[in-house]
Amino acid sequence: MLSRRNWLTKAAALAAGTGLFKTASAGAAEPAPADPENAVGIYNVKAFGAKGDGKTLDTKAIQTAIDTCNRNKGGTVFFPPGIFVSGTLQLKSNVTLYLSAQATLLGTTDGKQYFAAAEIPLHGDSTLVDGNVGLLYAVNAENIGIEGMGTIDGNGAQFRSPSKGAPSPAGISGAQRPYHILFYKCTNVQVNDIFLKDSAYHSIRMIQSEYLKFSGLRIKGRVIHNNDGFHFISCRYVHVHACDVRTQDDACALFGSCQYVTVSDSTFSTRWSVFRFGGGFVQNVTITNCTIYETYGCPIKIYCSRGSRFEDLTFSNLIMKNVTGPIHIGISERKSSSVTGDNLPAGVLKRVAFNNIQATVVTPQPLPDSAFQSAYRSGELRSCIVLNAFDNNYMEDISFQDIHITFPGGGTAAEAVAEVPKVAGEYFEIGTPPAYALFARNVKGLSVNNLRLKLAAADARPAVMLDNVEHAVIALLSTQGRQGSKVLRFRNSADVLVATPRVLDTVTAFAAVEGRNTRNIKVEGGDLSKAKSKLQQGADVPAGAVLLKE
């Protein structure tokens, strides 16, 4: 990678007339080959015939610069100010692309100038079926980078069909569309400071790669329905830092077996999910110090299918401003596309922590600066935090610490008693949850500490519902409810301690308990003076199953 010190050294060498940038022979039809020995290792794409005039197709000249840099044991391919139109380019080992502040690598609108990377399989591993075409791609490369204050513009609007079934202006669609950046089985990758604009597909797609660093990126893509920001598939040792991501689809997706991942100090906005997890063996993921805003889908979505395993995920110090969702975790009997084989074991999900989260949940809004708008399903209108497993599936050791959330309210009495269907795919598939803040089903080991809830409007649903939950602690729960609502609802749950709750507005009842498998529910201390009734207990609840001590 080109450090500031090295850059200054090479700039000084240029001033001294040492020939920093390799040049082509004057008037030659083809650029002259660079000297085998290049002490400074910087290759100006214009020296290889690139025009940068926003009209000429510069693919061949840029690729020649990359190939020469790679052949000469690596260095930097330099883009001076200009607009460099290109089709598919292959980045190779030990090569860094450097785009100066007024340089733009512009994806051509001629779909024939893009080609699939044959080395990236589309069959046999179902996680790769989304396409293998990139504006920039690399395969089995190491020590590669893209950096600078310039722009990579995918011209994505030209790849969106004007109507269903009609060809796009670029002439290609679906999996033929190019990603901004597509790397497969690469090692030691850095992408820094670039503005990634209007991809025709996902902006950054990393597959089975390791030691990946992304810092200071701006990603903006709202011209295609599936404009993802980051999309990682079975990657390890991934670090995302100080990025701003505004997308139409998932802002940061982790599929397959992603491990040892950190995301920090970044901002995100999207129509769908910010952090989306699906399938595989996901382990040791930390997401911290991030702001999520104007996200009208589900900021954190984790889907655990048969054959999948999720362990040791931590989300901390998050602000969610004007979101829906905001957290959905589901375990299903279905097999994910990220795993293969028959007779797969049940999915495993354990040790997931959420710490210090402040959120304002709203009803969905039109997404600002999108080229088009999406319709919203009924299940997206009054959503909440959902932990959803069923049948013989359980999630384990889920914790919430210091969570402050304002919810929009509006839930009806019918929604408060509706059964949650046994589906665990998309968050909206269960319809409107029967609680306005937290619904948990089939959980073993749930810790909720300092949960502060506020309603913007009346809601007939309880704040929290636990259904078939064992070994739970709810401490320092504070709610601002509305007349007619309950705070807690327990069904067939056991070994639950509610400590020091506080009800700030009048409610019909503090807790409703039901189910013949209910046992050892304890409520201790707190202020329940604004609850007209402390406890509503169903006829099927065993005697002595609930103990209330003020």
Q: What is the overall mean pLDDT for the chain? A: 89
3-class state of residue 291 by DSSP: strand
Reported confidence tier of residue 130, pLDDT bands at 50, 70, 90: confident
Q: What is the pLDDT of residue 519?
A: 95
Amino acid 117 reads A
- pLDDT of the residue at 22: 43
Q: Which residues pair with 486 in a beta bridge?
A: 509
DSSP annotation of 69 reads H
pLDDT at 8 over 50: no
Confidence category of residue 248, pLDDT binned at 50, 70, 90: very high
Distance between terminal CA atoms of the chain?
64
Residues 213 and 494: their CA atoms lie apart, in Å, by 45
Sorted by sequence, the CB contacts under 8 Å of residue 218 that are 6+ apart come out as 194, 195, 196, 243, 244
DSSP 56: E
- CA–CA separation, 477 and 530 (whole Å): 14
Average pLDDT over residues 126-148: 87
SS3 of 13-31: HHHCCCCCECCCCCCCCCC
Cα separation, 472 vs 474, in Å, equals 7
Burial class from Cβ neighbours inside 10 Å (0-12, 13-18, 19+) for residue 345 reads exposed
Percent of the chain whose predicted confidence (pLDDT) is above 90: 73
CA pair distance 463, 488, nearest whole angstrom: 6
Structure token digits, residue 393:
């599936």
Torsion over CA: 492, 497, 503, 506 (sign)? positive
**pLDDT score of 15:** 33
Strands in 5-155 per DSSP E: 42-44, 53-57, 75-79, 82-86, 89-90, 95-99, 103-107, 134-139, 142-147, 151-153
Q: In the numeric block, which tokens belong to residue 257?
A: 């077996």
Between CA 522 and CA 306, with CA 422 as vertex, the angle to 5 degrees is: 100
How confident is the model at residue 501, as a pLDDT? 95
DSSP H or E stretch at residue 6: helix 4-15
CA distance 161 to 176: 13
Residue 371, pLDDT score:
85
Task: Determine the pLDDT at residue 2.
Answer: 52
Residue 527: DSSP 8-state:
B
Residue 255's pLDDT is 93
What percentage of the chain's residues is helix, strand, coil (to nearest 5)? 10, 50, 45
Q: Dihedral of CA 77/83/89/91: which sign?
A: positive
Instruction: Find the range with the poorest average confidence among 73-77, 336-340, 475-479.
Output: 336-340
The residue behind tokens 């607009």 is 83
Helices (H) and strands (E) in the chain, counts: 3, 40
Mean pLDDT, residues 528-532 taken together? 91
Of the listed ranges 233-242, 289-298, 388-397, 417-426, the least confidently predicted one is 417-426
User: In this predicted structure, what is the pLDDT of residue 39?
Assistant: 54
Q: Scanning the structure block, which residue is given the tokens 């507005």?
A: 505
Q: What is the pLDDT of residues 452-510, one digit of tens each?
A: 999 999 999 999 999 999 999 999 999 986 666 889 999 999 999 999 999 998 888 99
Instruction: Give the integer Cα–Cα distance in Å for 214 and 318.
Output: 20
Between 521 and 423, the higher pLDDT residue: 521
Query: For residue 14, what pLDDT band results from cuts at 50, 70 and 90?
Result: very low
pTM for the model: 0.89
**Element at 64 (helix H, strand E):** helix 59-71
8 A C-beta contact, residue 337 and residue 127? yes
Residue 52: Cβ-neighbour burial (10 angstroms; 0-12, 13-18, 19+): buried
What residues have CB less than 8 Å from 471, skipping those under 6 apart? 444, 445, 446, 494, 495, 496
Judged against a pLDDT cut of 90, whether residue 287 lies above it is answered with: yes
* pLDDT at 399 > cutoff 80: yes
The pLDDT, as a whole number, for residue 336 is 52
Mean pLDDT value of segment 300-326: 94
Cα 369 from Cα 24, distance rounded (Å): 43
Which pLDDT belongs to residue 425? 76
Average pLDDT over residues 149-175: 89
**338 pLDDT above the threshold of 80:** no
Task: Summarize the confidence of residues 523-544 as an average pLDDT.
Answer: 92
Task: Give the pLDDT score at 334.
Answer: 67
Of 401 and 175, more confident:
401
With residue 511 as reference, give the H or E element that holds it.
strand 507-514
Would you say residue 28 has pLDDT above 90? no
Is the per-residue pLDDT at 260 higher than 90?
yes
